[in-house]
Amino acid sequence: MGLFPHLIFGFVAAFIGVIPPGLLNISAAKISMHEGRKSAATFAVGVGITVLIQTYIALLFARYLEMHPEIIQLLRQIGLGIFICLTIYFFFIAKDSRRKPADEVTKTGKNRFFLGMLLAALNLLPLPYWVYISITFNAFGWFEFSPNAILLCVIGSVLGTLAMLGIYIQFFKHLKKKQGASKVNMNYVIGGITGIVSILTLIKILNNL
């Protein structure tokens, strides 16, 4: 397959991964509201630098795993357990996403660039996320682990992350109004997605038995 789809793959995967309200996007939005969009953009760039490093490390690890099928099978089983736990969490444990989040911003320093890098580094979920989806797409022939493909995917992941953070920074007030008026608990949507992934993973595991 061509290399350009790997850029799109990285962008879309990162964009989707940052959609649910979390530490990074909510922090970026609140910094924008309290300190201005320039500070929020600086924060987002710091996040992007860490995302670049995390994605690259995850894809290199995934490439190693791709050469060891026996480890991939074990990883699928572990991933199945993780996604089942996430499904249970989002359906039965997580707080209702329709509740309004607090408006306070935790200030840990003036330099928002390094704050963005720090908070992104504390968020370790992208590592297993990228390993899992890259291996899964590779199994279907939709992703390859060549150096150029990995590089384009990493660039796409940074652009996708910055794009979604930019949306939160630009339209957070509007998103808050929409969220307050929404009758849909987004945790159920995310739980449904993780549930579907769990089913597909289980099917893949059973086919390889």
Per-residue pLDDT of the chain (209 residues; tens, 9 = 90+): 578 899 999 999 998 888 776 778 888 888 888 888 888 999 999 999 999 999 999 999 888 887 877 776 776 677 677 778 777 876 777 655 445 544 444 444 458 898 889 888 887 778 878 887 888 788 778 888 999 999 999 999 999 999 999 998 887 756 555 555 444 455 666 667 667 767 876 776 777 66
- What residue has token string 């987002």? 44
Taking alpha carbons only, the member of 152, 120, 96, 101 closest to residue 45 is 120
